[in-house]
Structure 1
Amino acid sequence: MHDQKAFQEICSRIQRSRMRLLVEHGFYGLLLMHVKLQLDPSIKTAATDGDSIFFSPVFLSGLSDTELDFIMLHEIMHIVLDHLTRAREFKDRETANTAADIIVNSYIYEEYGNKASAVSINGKESLHRLPDGSEGNKHSFEEVYQLLKKQKKSGTALSSKKSIMAANAHVKRR
């Protein structure tokens, strides 16, 4: 009985987040209305396969409403920007994922009036800027990937551990 109640509460939170985003950020909320949202205990955080968004019930239960909204926006932007398809051309999936995260987080950061709290989980700000300080959304996915690869070779790469949405956390393979 307790598991069913917890499941219903998690589903309710996801739906409230989608409605909140529809009201407060109509464009993104509308996009979220056309995506299937699913719970998946096999993943660590949240993920997308390009058609659906998947949530770890354990991860989701530890998020505030603001953090859940961030995750929803983060995953829908990966779908909109077709990052899964575009990442296939790169051998280094971790770097590709970090590049995609920087761009997505940068859009969210700007959508919320450049507030660090909009792209933070547990008080830790997610990557949204390139090492030169520019916002990630000022560059293409391919440009950010190449810049990160170049930095990785020189030994000054950004640590993917700094990104809340770590490389293995949110890409579901089809």
Structure 2
Amino acid sequence: MADINDPVYQLIVAARVQLLFDKPFFGNVAARLILVDATDWCATAATDGRHMYYNREFIKSLTKDELMFLVAHEILHCIYDHLGRRGGRDPKLLNMAQDYVINYTLVEDKCGTMPKQGL
């Protein structure tokens, strides 16, 4: 679990609150994900549908709009049930394809700014 007093945790919470105001549907789903500091194994961010795992250094490198985009990105993985759709497909290739679909959706919806590190 993440420390609620941690400044990085607070940055993510602020992005979730901004989503509640700007994109209420995304904000509502974001509020349900449990934040977990996974800096030791996660290079950027990830989700398992119940948790949002994040890398502290990556989060600190993002602007507020990029962080809002990132949180919405992880939410769409949950909404689209990407984890449940893998089947026998190559996980790396499938994740790239899913990321392209998600990023396109968020850019079209003007949901923050796509991080420079994005696909």
SS in 2 for 1:63: coil
Aligned to 1:96: 94
* 1:118 aligned to which of 88, 107, 113: 113
SS in 2 for 1:118: coil
Aligned to 1:141: none
SS in 1 for 2:49: coil
Q: What are the ranges of 5 or more consecutive residues in structure 2 without an aligned counterpart?
A: none
Aligned to 2:47: 48
Aligned to 1:21: 19
Q: How many residues align?
A: 115
Measured against aligned partners, the alpha-carbon deviations of 1:105-133 in whole angstroms (never above 9, x if no partner) come to 111011108xxx722x23x6x4xxxxxxx
SS in 2 for 1:78: helix
After TM superposition, which residue ranges in structure 1, 4 or more long, deviate above 3 angstroms? none
* AA at the equivalent of 1:56: N
Aligned to 2:103: 105
Measured against aligned partners, the alpha-carbon deviations of 1:134-166 in whole angstroms (never above 9, x if no partner) come to xxxxxxxxxxxxxxxxxxxxxxxxxxxxx2xxx
TM-score, with normalisation over the residues of structure 2? 0.87
Q: Does 2:54 align with 1:59?
A: no
* AA at the equivalent of 1:40: A
* AA at the equivalent of 1:100: Q
| 8 Å CA contact retained: 2:36, 2:51 | yes
Aligned to 1:171: none
Q: For residues 89 and 50 of structure 1, what CA distance do their matches in structure 2 show? A: 19
Q: For residues 55 and 37 of structure 1, what CA distance do their matches in structure 2 show? A: 8
Measured against aligned partners, the alpha-carbon deviations of 1:14-67 in whole angstroms (never above 9, x if no partner) come to 111100000011110011111111211121100111211111011111111111
Q: Percent identity?
A: 28
Structure with max Cα Rg: 1
| 8 Å CA contact retained: 2:82, 2:98 | yes
